[in-house]
Chains A and B, each alone.
Chain A
């Protein structure tokens, strides 16, 4: 992973290392950190392709405001990967166009 090893001011306390997949390929990241950060650390810059002109898109604001970072997570499209925490075993996919549900809608958790 492409991580900053030494920093004059900061110390990074990463959480638990977990495995996830991106378009079927297995990758590693840290639990609880945003999906976008984990993907970037694995060298993934393209998160989606646009509907009309099929232009590649990566993240832009990283704070949940621009919606440039949509991916499909466990079948749910239009997930803002910059503010969604990574979990063990997540299946993440590149989103093409506006994204459709490829799976049943997640059920309410409580």
Chain B
């Protein structure tokens, strides 16, 4: 079989590459080994960060649907093969061998190839790590979010990066018990707001801990965890955790076997989480007919994977003579602008450094040094303060003070004022883009911390409903019963709270510290994130940050 462009992998990167190339008239073949298009997106029930151009504030599953539609609109030019693995690349013949349904073997001969094969879950070595019940985080997600199968009764999560934190939250949403999260490092690796979400539901994060062994003969029946010291030696007591699933979320490595086979120059770059191909600004590898995009080119994010996919698609179309040079350059520059913006925050410095290492360029090594120095200065300035609590996703008392609105304005403000608990620069801005009054000021850079003009805030709680970090709250101190106040908070769990119902009020670590009464339940964005208005004791408004519905019977 022949085609202009073969795209391997139908995740966000591959889909965008296919869409972009097809929109310039290329005939595209897209193969994906899973049973549906969308890659990692089809299991992401949470709202994504990033900028609105790349669908920020929208759930991963929704993004997958939209990209799917775009592919469907171009079905005359994009041919899709599902349940089809690209298994080998034969450099001499420039052939890709494929296998459908573990049965049928065939080959494709493309003019140009885009490899967007995503990533593979890393494994940690401990005795029993090969037992059934030790699952990758992606597997747990696939089971519960795509096929609705309960992954287990009680899960121990290993790793507090974004994936570990998000999957933990998703397990709770699916009604699965979570024994806790262990993290090797002295602080969470993922976004702080994601940690705060699970902490306020009472889930412990054990920093500087790891799994010592899995218990069980035939399958997982528990785990032993223990603390480690700075040198990596065991410290303190062993702790037994009851669980039947140990979920590994210790990072991903790029899947690049096909690129190795094709003879692309590869380099190990720890910032990008493994071996990745060298590439130029158009995502072309050292092989003139092969491009790479998404996690396969370095572990990053769906938003950047989409842009990289578009870059690869555009560049492939250009190399096939389907795009004018001027237009190509303009569009490429536009894409890079977005990538740079996305990679501007403290959490992305690593990526930037990693990309510099593998980017094929002519002369500007100095530039690279600058970024390194910048990053270093930055991380030094970050080392300061923070206590253990904060590092596991809980604001400490001084910080609580700093996020509260000015007392004078707040006291008498009908409808209440916003409280934003988002202390880390991350590429995210839906709080601003969804605020109808401009109270959350425009971001100069998408990585900025949200800045607030309290005089404009009406307490409408649209930010509460749209913040993917569930980091916005509204507190109305004018509730007429004096001793009480109204707290408007986001809620994405079951069961759904009912008006007039009594609920437990939880503090930032999930301790039940009061009961409150639900007076209103809204779904402002019609996307299943509820904004619940709860009447709570006024003196606890700065502590209560979540509710639990008391199950009857």
Given known A3-B149, A4-B175, A56-B218, contact A9–B59 (CB-CB < 8 A): yes
| Contact residues of B: prevailing secondary structure | loop
Hey, what's the 0/1 contact readout for A30-62 against B, CB within 8 Å counting as 1? 101110010011000111000000011111111
Checking A45, A65, A79 against B120 with a beta-carbon cut-off of 8 angstroms, the contacting residue is A65
Per-residue contact bits, chain B 206-218, to A (CB 8 Å; 1 contact, 0 not): 0000000000001
User: Cβ of B149 and Cβ of A4 under 8 Å apart?
Assistant: yes
Taking the complex as formed, is B453 at the interface, i.e. its CB lies under 8 A from any CB of chain A?
no
Q: Does the CB pair B150–A63 fall under 8 Å?
A: no
Query: Which residues in B have their C-beta under 8 angstroms from that of A90?
Result: none
Task: Flag if B219 contacts A58 (CB, 8 Å).
Answer: yes
> B-facing mask of A47-85, CB < 8 A → 1, else 0?
100000001111111111110000000001001101111
Q: How far is it, in angstroms, between the C-alpha of A64 and the C-alpha of B101 when the chains are bound?
A: 11
Chain B, residues 65-94, CB within 8 Å of chain A (1/0): the string is 000000000000000000101000000000
- State how many angstroms separate the Cβ of B470 from the closest Cβ of chain A: 13
Task: Among B120, B173, B492, point to the contact of A66 (Cβ < 8 A).
Answer: B120
In the complex the two chains form, is A60's CB within 8 Å of B139's CB? yes
Chain B, 148-185, contact with A by CB distance < 8 Å: what is the 0/1 string?
Answer: 11110000000000000000000001110000000000
Given contacts A8-B173, A62-B138, contact A84 B133 (CB under 8 A): no
A65 touches B255 (CB 8 A): yes
Q: Number of contact residues on B: which range applies? A: 35 or more
- With A62-B142, A63-B138, A65-B120 as known contacts, state yes or no: A84 contacts B102, CB within 8 Å: yes
Q: Is A103 part of the binding interface, using a Cβ–Cβ cutoff of 8 Å?
A: no
Q: A3-B150, A34-B147 are in contact. Are A63 and B142 (CB under 8 A)?
A: yes
Residue of B nearest to A60 (CB): B136
B532 CB → nearest A CB, Å = 12
Expressed in whole angstroms, the Cα–Cα distance for A107 and B24 within the complex equals 39
Give Cα A106 to B100, complex, Å: 13
User: Measured between alpha carbons, how far is A97 from B35 in the docked complex, in Å?
Assistant: 27
* 8 Å CB interface, B474-496 against A: 492-494, 496
Chain A hits for B149, CB < 8 A: 1-4, 37, 40-41
B78 CB to nearest chain A CB (Å): 21
Q: Does B135 contact A (CB under 8 A)?
A: yes
Residue of chain B at shortest CB distance from A105:
B103
Chain A: interface residue total (CB-CB under 8 A): 44
Q: What's the nearest-Cβ distance from chain B to residue A84, in Å?
A: 6
* Contact B130–A57 (Cβ < 8 Å): yes
A25 in contact (CB, < 8 A): no
Contacts of B255 in A (CB 8 A): 65
Contact B85 A64 (CB under 8 A): yes
Report the nearest A residue to B142, measured CB to CB.
Answer: A62
Knowing A4-B174, A60-B136, say if A85 contacts B83 (CB, 8 Å): yes
The A-contacting residues of B in range 490-508, CB under 8 angstroms, are 492-494, 496
Measured CA separation A85–B496 after assembly (Å): 34
* B34 x A83 contact (CB < 8 A): yes
Within 8 A of A (CB), among B112-127: 118, 120-121, 123
- Complex: how many Å from CA A40 to CA B132? 11
User: Please, how many angstroms separate the alpha-carbon atoms of A80 and B528 in the complex?
Assistant: 35
The answer to whether A10 touches B145, judged by C-beta atoms less than 8 angstroms apart, is yes
Q: Give 26 pairs: A residue, B residue, CB < 8 Å, sorted on A.
A: A4-B174, A8-B493, A9-B173, A9-B528, A10-B45, A10-B61, A10-B145, A30-B147, A37-B147, A37-B149, A40-B151, A55-B130, A56-B132, A57-B132, A59-B135, A59-B139, A61-B136, A63-B118, A76-B102, A83-B33, A83-B35, A84-B83, A84-B101, A85-B35, A108-B103, A110-B104
Q: Known contacts A6-B175, A76-B103; can you find 11 more A-B pairs with CB under 8 A?
A: A4-B150, A37-B147, A46-B218, A46-B219, A47-B132, A57-B132, A61-B138, A63-B118, A65-B120, A80-B102, A83-B35
Which 8 A/B pairs are nearest by Cβ-Cβ distance?
A58-B132, A62-B139, A12-B148, A45-B132, A37-B147, A62-B142, A41-B149, A4-B148
